[in-house]
Amino acid sequence: MKVLLIYPEFPDTFWSFKHALKFIRKRASSPPLGLLTVAAMLPSAWEKRLVDLNVQKLTDKDLAWADVAFVSAMTAQRKSTHQAIARCKALGLKIVAGGPLFTTEHEQFDLVDHFILNEAEFTLPPFLRDLELGSAKRVYSSSEFPDIRQTPAPLWELVNFKRYATMSIQYSRGCPFDCEFCNITALFGHRPRVKTADQIVRELDGLYRLGWRGNVFFVDDNLIGNKKHLKTELLPALIEWRRGKYGLGFSTEVSINMADDEELMKLMSQAGFDTVFIGVETPDEESLIECNKIQNRHRDLIGDIKRIQQSGMQVQGGFIIGFDSDTPSIFQRQIDFIQKSGIVTAMVGLLQAPIGTRLYERLKQEGRLLGFMSGDNVDGTTNIIPRMNIDILHKGYKTVINTLYAPKNYYARVKTFLKEFKPPRLRAPLDFQYLLALPRSIIRLGILDKGRVYYWKLFFWTLFRKPRLFPMAITFAIYGYHFRQICSLTRIS
């Protein structure tokens, strides 16, 4: 059996970093972890080929080679997914589909032959058995949550590392919290399930053995969901594993309560974590109550963020506008909060309701749904009817993102962060990618860009005041260029 693993293209989004990746001649942020893991679950005798449409084209030669196509996608990839499936079907190729997009919307894909929904550890094996017997069903689903200690390492051999900026691995699934707008608990449950430390070390060994020396993103929706195992098993193992090794810094997603645990932050930094994404959402207490973001309530959120930054980790933040409790004052409050926090990478989106969330069910009962969400966090769209006047909401949202990513404000936020950030004493040697990016940033951002005066102010301020952080400052400048391009694509006038 010849299997073509197809990963559809992402549109130009906040997290695609397409405009930034050009500075280091990379084509995508990371390869499709889900498909690579599924590939490792397939019979070893099967031939496998990965086609990631974010880094290469899907050719007729690829399609003619294959006996079956396995397609996985997220919501933001919906358009490209339909196009890829149509091409496969036009050439008579059998299509097997799974992943978040299909788990919530499989009824929208009539051309797919078989759906492997939910977590593949439970739904893929019965499909493979039935396929061998010639009696495969169209839909395989499960409401159970598998033990991911049995999950195989991704099949990294299918990946051309040179095309990507980062690699990804997964330590846990599930989250102990229950935010109304989030579908993670619906997909993966409340009780975080974790891999063993030995599993993670073996996966990292596999990447290292194949020559990877760049960043590794832990894709967990909340890495600290099981703090006991993290602190006593994984982090000590990572600290030991990194001794004497070059490169491989880590990034991940956590909840804000990490700031309560000094020991945890110290261990995270020692283990190599230098960036964490946190769902801050809003500085408004009423909106936090509304969406059941209990972990963010009754806090000095700015103080928490500063503590994490001072522990040696950059905080990236997710923010939402459009809660029922929001008033027009929220626009300036979000701007003020983000600028003061020093969160350089601040993703601000309108509230959307994913299928499977409590928010979706509540708004469905209230008759306030407008079809499917786009999956693009900063395109200015929403699939709900908000309480706030929609014109005021759109105008205010546009003001927020244009203000945050205007060069003057963006570079000021970078400087605020660099003042707070305390990097660990031992940092990775200078990356060759940085040497490629620096002269390009000088030309594109220091000469051609309208905000070049702010680029040069940051350039020289960092060079003389924070020279150890100079590569980071240039990286942020490049990120800002990408974010400005994305903001210009927002679909509201």
pLDDT tens-digit readout, 150-183:
999 999 999 999 999 999 999 999 999 999 999 9
> Which has more confidence, 435 or 3?
3
| Confidence (pLDDT) at 424 | 82
Position 94 pLDDT exceeds 90:
yes
Note the pLDDT tens digit of each residue in 185-228: 889 999 999 999 999 999 999 999 999 999 999 999 999 999 99
> Hey, what amino acid is at 228?
K
| Confidence (pLDDT) at 377 | 87
| Confidence (pLDDT) at 461 | 98
Helices (H), 112-223: 120-133, 184-188, 197-209
Phi-psi domain of 389 (left: phi exceeds 0; alpha: psi -120 through 50; beta: other)? beta
Tokens describing residue 116: 């492997």
Q: Indicate the average pLDDT of the chain.
A: 96
Position 428 pLDDT exceeds 60:
no
Q: What is the share, in percent, of the chain residues with pLDDT greater than 90?
A: 94
Q: In sequence order, which residues have a C-beta less than 8 Å from that of residue 345 and are 6 or more positions away?
A: 314, 316, 317, 479, 483
pLDDT confidence of 458, banded at 50, 70, 90?
Answer: very high
CB 141 within 8 A of CB 19: no
Three-state DSSP at 5 gives: strand
- The residue written with tokens 């051609």 in the block is 448
- Please state the three-class secondary structure of 320-378 as a single string: EECCCCCCCCHHHHHHHHHHHHCCCCEEEEECCCCCCCHHHHHHHHCCCECCCCCCCCC
Position 436 pLDDT exceeds 90:
no
Q: What is the share, in percent, of the chain residues with pLDDT greater than 70?
A: 98
Tell me which residue of 72, 50, 238, 256 sits closest to 155, measured CA to CA.
50
Tell me which residue of 417, 415, 406, 418 sits closest to 480, measured CA to CA.
406
> Hey, what amino acid is at 141?
S
| Confidence (pLDDT) at 310 | 96
| Confidence (pLDDT) at 250 | 97
Average confidence (pLDDT) over 414-431: 81
2-140 and 165-404 share one CATH topology? Answer: no
Note the pLDDT tens digit of each residue in 368-382: 999 999 999 899 999
CATH, domain range 165-404: 3.20.20.70
Average confidence (pLDDT) over 1-8: 98
| Confidence (pLDDT) at 42 | 98
DSSP letter assigned to residue 291:
T
pLDDT confidence of 5, banded at 50, 70, 90?
Answer: very high
**DSSP line for 161-184:** GGGBSEEEE--EE--S---TT--H
Tell me which residue of 232, 233, 313 sits closest to 269, measured CA to CA.
313
pLDDT confidence of 434, banded at 50, 70, 90?
Answer: confident
Least confident of 98-102, 105-109, 431-435: 431-435
Note the pLDDT tens digit of each residue in 36-91: 999 999 999 999 999 999 999 999 999 999 999 999 999 999 999 999 999 999 99
pLDDT confidence of 429, banded at 50, 70, 90?
Answer: low
> Which has more confidence, 63 or 426?
63
pLDDT confidence of 427, banded at 50, 70, 90?
Answer: low
Q: What Å distances lie between residue 249 and 342, 355, 405, 410, CA to CA?
A: 21, 34, 27, 25
Tokens describing residue 472: 């980071």
| Confidence (pLDDT) at 423 | 87
Distance of alpha carbon 9 from alpha carbon 15, whole angstroms: 13
Tokens describing residue 245: 């090794």
Position 440 pLDDT exceeds 90:
yes
CB 130 within 8 A of CB 115: no
Position 493 pLDDT exceeds 60:
no
Average confidence (pLDDT) over 98-110: 97
Model-level pTM? Answer: 0.96
Average confidence (pLDDT) over 19-24: 96
> Class of 2-140 per CATH?
alpha beta
Domain map (residue ranges) of the chain: 2-140, 165-404, 432-487
